[in-house]
Structure 1
Amino acid sequence: MPTLNASSLAKSYPIADGELVVLREATLQLERGESAAIVGPSGSGKSTLLSILGTLETPSTGTYELGGAAPFSLSEPELAKFRSRQVGFIFQDHHLLPQCSVLENVLVPMLADGAAGSADVERAEQLLDRVGLAERRHHRPAQLSGGERQRAAIARALLREPTLLLADEPTGNLDRHTADAIVDLLLELQAERNAILVAVTHSEPLAARLQQRHTLNDGRLERQ
């Protein structure tokens, strides 16, 4: 069975006169080390699909397994622990904590276990060195460029060696030169760690570099 196995995922929300269908049919299968781009117009359900794959939202129907586990069968505390250990998130707007240093931001995923240990700090510093931010680790996010903030976000997403990396418009706020460098780095680190990468993007250059390409339109996911 594929490491990531999503079958016939659908998502709807109740509204006053019935229901709002956001996702109608999404099937996606990926092995470790593989990557997929999800493209489509705004409002087509891309972010909803990413939220389900990241276990932030529960599908209305369909099945989902990651690494042999069925996360939506877990209790809420177990699901939060699963998410923390198995999924890394990279967002367009970074979501770095402004009051924390770059190093502290990278260590945020360890809060699910209570606190970061010395081995966690060492791993975070190694990642910051790998993404070119070793000398900036004590800076606040406001002191970084957009590309540097995205590098910090990538390091944070990789801290726990997740099975799945989810990227939501990771180059959306960057100029072309910086975006190309971020994509190079992201793909290098994904390959090194044999992780699965799923990226929602409007960027054709990014989509072209991923192994699979899927279009989501009117809630339906189709492989191209």
Structure 2
Amino acid sequence: MAPMPTLHAASLAKTYPVAEGELTILRDASLSLERGESAAIVGPSGSGKSTLLSILGTLEFPSAGDFQLSGRSPFQLSEPELAAFRSRHIGFIFQDHHLLPQCSVLENVLAPMLADGAAGPADVTRAEQLLQRVGLAQRLHHRPAQLSGGERQRAAIARALLRQPTLLLADEPTGNLDRTTAEAIINLLLELQQEQNAILIAVTHSETLAARMGRRFILDDGCLVAG
């Protein structure tokens, strides 16, 4: 029997109860990816792309289907176990970066370590190395408000990679950036993803970003198909 892919999603579905019965967001979403692979998920607004990303990130439970990551079925874990699994195996990059305004850039990058209680010296060293890698070595003690949009997204990338996750999820990572800055962020994101041998899945409206990914999927009418 062939080994299970590092990421395996089979027939994921998501429905929500409404007054009229059920609202179906996802009907059939299946994909398998190995470490080092990248995939773009495109589709019209409201097609369920962010919902699918939330399920793959274990932030939301599917109504049906199976999901496995690194040989584990995370939705079968207890809530504390699931939180620990997510913190260790999944990194998130959002369109609006979600940096903590009251914290320095370095503190923001170290935020994922709070799940373990506190950051140790090795964590600080790795955070500083990542910030140097993304071009923010001179910004460690600045607040997010003192950074440009591109710099904030670079900090968000460093934060997502701090724990060397198996899966890196990006939701419109270049959506708020001008073309030149977006291209620089795409280059950086793909370089770091390859260096860390992570799986990268990006939900995007950007054809430029989608064209740079190894695989492309279209989500339409709740179904995910290769595109």
Q: TM-score, normalised by structure 1?
A: 1.00
Given the alignment, which residue of 161, 164, 167 partners 2:164?
A: 161
3-state SS, counterpart of residue 109 of structure 1: helix
SS at match of 1:107: helix
1:209 equivalent to 2:173? Answer: no
Q: Percent identity?
A: 79
Give the superposition deviation at 1:17.
1.5
Which of 57, 60, 73 is the equivalent residue of 2:60?
57
SS of residue paired to 2:176: coil
CA–CA distance in 2 between the matches of 1:57 and 1:185? Answer: 28
Cross-structure match for 1:108: 111
| Equivalence for 1:13 | 16
Between Structure 1 and Structure 2, how many residues are aligned? 224
Deviations 1:10-56 (A, max 9, x none): 00011112011001100010000000000000000000000000000
Matched residues in 2 for 1:77 and 1:136: separation?
34
Q: Which runs of 4+ in 1 moved over 6 A?
A: none
Residue in structure 1 matched with residue 144 of structure 2 by the alignment: 141
The aligned residue for residue 89 of structure 2 is: 86
CA distance in 2, matches of 1:2, 1:36: 15
Q: Residue 180 in 1 paired to residue 183 in 2?
A: yes
Matched, 1:76 2:76: no
Mapped pair 1:44 → 2:58:
no
**Aligned residue for 2:127?**
124
Q: Which runs of 5+ in 1 are unaligned?
A: none
TM (norm. structure 2) is 0.98
Q: Does 1:96 align with 2:118?
A: no
**Corresponding residue for 1:66?**
69
Letter in 2 for 1:185: L
CA RMSD of aligned residues (A): 0.4
